[in-house]
Structure 1
Amino acid sequence: MTPVLSLRGVSKRFGAVSALTDIELDVHAGEVVALVGDNGAGKSTLVKILSGVHQPTAGTIRFAGQDVTVADPAAALALGIATVFQDLALCENLDVVGNVFLGRELSPFALDEVGMELRTWTLLRQLSARIPSVRVPIASLSGGQRQTVAIARSLLLEPRLILLDEPTAALGVAQTAEVLDLIERLRERGLAVIVISHNMEDVRAVADRIVVLRLGRNNGVFYPDATNAELVTAITGASENAVSRRRARHMDAAGTEGAGA
């Protein structure tokens, strides 16, 4: 099956600084790929390349089987690449409908309020969203509900690939579960999804594959059954770390208990 997105040898330099080097990545329809790595690993730079904020210094981007140039954010949207950044870019003084259609109102001369409201409800229902009304201001919504609105807005132009930048950051347990459910809904709709996250438990809960970046390079592809020790080793480059030591202690304790039985 042809990947929705395929990167080959993608690199990005800022003067003398190499932010990304020879990145390889494939993402298929109906697949959630988690992109993980330490601060400075290149995750944000890669997201900005895919969303049209930066252009790669070298390499090729193929989208839906065609070589493409993502010249700017408008070009990314036109291709079918939608990005939900960590700050969500929502206007707190506007209601849900106003945020979903911000800059994309259905009529250039007179707002079609009824049409926009119906379309907003349709998008929210597709996500099984828990939002009491599309006419409440964003300021009154929880963090999870705001993430839902931002994702619904990204679906407005019917993208094929959605990038989610730290979608569960600073959320409570219940709100995190709500957002992870939303990601499952996106997969069920057949969309390709890239999730950038530091939370390994969230990553394992929804990802089909986990791609590790380290110092701007690919450093392994893992699956949800990977251990914390394996992931931390790939992310940090150190086989000896707190996670591996804790795991060794637990194994030693289990062995001691078994010997004494």
Structure 2
Amino acid sequence: MRDISKYYGNVQALDGVSLEVHAGEITCVLGDNGAGKSTLIKIVAGLHQHDGGTFTIEGEETRLGSPREALDRGIATVYQDLAVVPLMPVWRNFFLGSEIHKGRGPLRRLDVAAMRATTHRELLRMGIELHDVDQPIGTLSGGQRQCVAIARAVHFGAKVLILDEPTAALGVKQSGVVLKYVAAARDAGLGVVLITHNPHHAYLVGDRFVLLKRGAMAGSHAKDEIALEELTRQMAGGSELEQLSHELARTPAPDLSGGVAKG
């Protein structure tokens, strides 16, 4: 993506944003709420179209018309809410919308055995060991559900995997589990876009970092060009944070004695 802009009426949500995604690399997009991360995701995922700039996939300039078109081009998006059906078993959610059938005509039916076996195999391939793929996916932890969604995208041939704040609602241990599978997707040859507001998580797995602020680029760095401390400083606002610290610094208490001598 080069110099992407997006307007909603008179409001400019993105202004000159550029993003590169390469196979076998993780690109982290960082920014606070309102920075433009969600708008950027929606353009890459085919939900919205950009108003300015160029969007190129494998050398071909394109304009995605729908999420299905994005999927057909190998771009899979895992949103924060995951869009799973909690009461359905893990294997059913794994194949939701892409079910395997057997038989023809009136005898056509779901091939449950094949979907169960494939789900178990693909989860194991990503290092996810579930004792029972028949258990409702709602009984899994948040980290496990994220990992199932990642394995699903890999299985269905994604070339680019976009993850929207996958660790936002997770504790330290579960966040570590998810980041491990994010790295596994990268090692499987996918180009990964990790959307996050946590620079520590980004720096653990990221190869390059794009910082957004109020819809504009606030920085773009390869990992060997920036230390975690500087990434955190830029993410937190840098000079704005320093100004705030000065404003909040304690000042000497005023002398309220009025100079009255004690006797």
Q: TM-score, structure 1 length as denominator? A: 0.86
Q: Deviations over 1:76-110 (max 9, x none)?
A: 00000000000011111001100011111112831
- From 64, 79, 88, give the equivalent of 2:82: 88
Once the two structures are TM-superposed, the CA of residue 37 in structure 1 deviates from its matched residue by 0.9
Aligned to 1:4: none
Q: Secondary structure at the match of 2:3?
A: strand
Counterpart residue identity of residue 81, structure 1: I
How many residues of Structure 1 are paired with residues of Structure 2 in the alignment? 240
Matches within 5 A, 1:66-145: 66-107=60-101, 109-145=108-144
Q: Deviations over 1:135-193 (max 9, x none)?
A: 11112111111111111222232010000000111112221111011011011111000
Aligned to 1:35: 29
Identity rate, percent = 43
- Residues 154 and 185, structure 2, Cα contact 8 Å, conserved in 1: no
Task: Say yes or no: does 1:14 pair with 2:14.
Answer: no
Gaps of 5+ in 1: 1-6, 247-261
CA distance in 2, matches of 1:117, 1:66: 38
Counterpart residue identity of residue 221, structure 1: S
CA distance in 2, matches of 1:245, 1:204: 25
Residue range with higher mean Cα deviation, 208-217 or 42-51: 208-217
CA distance in 1, matches of 2:132, 2:231: 41
- Residues 127 and 182, structure 1, Cα contact 8 Å, conserved in 2: yes
Aligned to 1:249: none
- Residues 100 and 120, structure 1, Cα contact 8 Å, conserved in 2: yes
Aligned to 1:241: 241
Counterpart residue identity of residue 144, structure 1: G
Question: Which structure's CA Rg is the greater one?
Answer: 2
Aligned to 1:154: 153
Residue range with higher mean Cα deviation, 21-30 or 104-113: 104-113
Gaps of 5+ in 2: 103-107, 247-263
Aligned to 1:201: 200
**Cα distance change, pair 238–177 in 1 and its aligned pair in 2 (3 A):** closer
- Residues 199 and 232, structure 2, Cα contact 8 Å, conserved in 1: no
